[in-house]
Amino acid sequence: MILKDNIGLIFDDGSFCEIGERSVCSVITGYGTVEGQQVYCFLQDASIMGGAFSVKAAEKIKTVYRLALKARAPIVGFLDSTGFLVDEGAEALHAFADLYRVVTIAKDEILQIMIAGDNCRGQVAGLCTLADFFFKDMSIDKAVSQAKEIILRMPASSGLLPDQFDADDDLNRRIENALSLRSDGRELLKAVSDNGAFLEMEGEATPCLTAGFIRINGLMVAAMAINGQQGEKGLGSAALVKAKDLVSLADKFGLGFVEFIQTEGFRNDEDSDLVLRSAAELARALNETDVPKVLIITGEVVGGAYSVLCGPSFDLTFMWEGSRVNIINPRTAAELVKGPQSVESIQAEADRYEESHSTAEVLEAKGLCHRIIDPADTRKYLAGALESYANVF
């Protein structure tokens, strides 16, 4: 349950200034500092009418949003509500529609973080979908801790350059077990990041894809790994949407974007139209953003997933030694080219096909890969690639 006192968890001691204190309703609003940085906040107090949303609550939240937008400062919302104040009827619905409008405008402008309590229900819960980051199903202390990390590491608004912090981790540090992490994106991203720092995106569970934010030489970087965890190697619509959301965050805040990929392609047990629409939206996001983008192919990539998630939309492409790209399964390709043959002949032809069409060396020779790297040296090459865009950051 979220209560008024929880608002003090986010701010530096003594810095919180409540606004609209005498305008009594279920929402507390105000501003303060987080390690000296200006932050605005609203909180639904579940002990007051169950945190019910009302016209007065909407006005208080819109006021704090207007202040945050003018200051180009982050805003944190604590959501814990059983729904609308029924007595207000359509007036409350209208007020919420207007609040939705304000929050939508802010989505393109400032950093928004939402923390959901136990009773975050109905349309109020929908505000979470407009936030850049939202936390649910975790303790308030943990959610606040992660929110502070985001506030300190991310730009406060679009158009600002991300800060670069001191890093005491060796940029040339080798990741000797990189190959063993290829199918565990979460651990791979941690291994590459400064001192193992990794802030994972919340949202729908996507076993084949891990997405979030790492630090390279003290700089926050958006990163994802398509990894085949838990036996799920094909990309479904949920994974593609999560990837698109990560690209959009990188674009909004001017962060470098890094992708690690091995995949068997798109899932065939979902609605194909939905998967293709999600894939097209991701491809559009990757092509429209002009932030520095680095691709690292860690294993085998098969089929149309390469066209969506790889290719010329990336500024630099590295391939781990032994990685491959295939338009279709090599054995299937051999059967199509040579027709019915013995098992041994088909396998030999498949091997020849891979060696002539699919290997990292072939792709490098054709200009589709900029460099083949030792997996253990991934951090070194990634740091160097991002450093080459120092003027952008």
**What does the pLDDT look like over 1-16, one tens digit per residue?**
666 678 889 999 999 9
In angstroms, rounded to a whole number, what is the distance separating the alpha carbons of residues 360 and 323?
A: 6
CA–CA distance, 289 with 252 (Å, rounded to integer): 9
Tell me the mean pLDDT in the region 297-316. Answer: 92
- What residues does 372 pair with on adjacent strands? 319
The pLDDT score that the predictor gives to residue 69 is: 96
Q: According to the model, what pLDDT value does residue 113 have?
A: 96
Band of residue 356 on the pLDDT scale cut at 50, 70, 90: confident
Q: Check: CB of residue 169 under 8 Å from CB of residue 191.
A: no
Q: Average pLDDT, whole number, for the chain?
A: 87
- Greatest alpha-carbon pair distance for the chain in Å reads 85
Among 109-113, 130-134, 334-338, 347-351, which range has the highest average pLDDT? 109-113
> In angstroms, what CA-CA distances link 375 with 52, 72, 146, 176, 263?
53, 41, 30, 8, 17
At 338, is the pLDDT very low, low, confident or very high (cuts 50, 70, 90)? low
Question: Within a 10 A sphere around the Cβ of 302, how many other Cβ atoms?
Answer: 21
Kindly write down the DSSP assignment for every residue of 348-382, as one continuous string. Answer: HHHHHHHHHHTBHHHHHHTTS-SEEE-GGGHHHHH
Per DSSP, the three-state class of 260 is strand
Please, which residues have CB within 8 angstroms of residue 314's CB and are 6 or more apart in sequence? 259, 286, 293, 294, 295
DSSP-assigned beta bridge partners for residue 190: none
Better-predicted residue by pLDDT, 122 or 88? 88
Output the 3-class SS for 109-144. CECEEEEEEEEECHHHHHHHHHCCEEECCCCHHHHH
Phi, psi of 117, rounded to the nearest 5 degrees: -90, -165
Distance CA 72, CA 43 (A): 20
Mapping DSSP to helix (H, G, I), strand (E, B) and coil, where does residue 283 land? helix
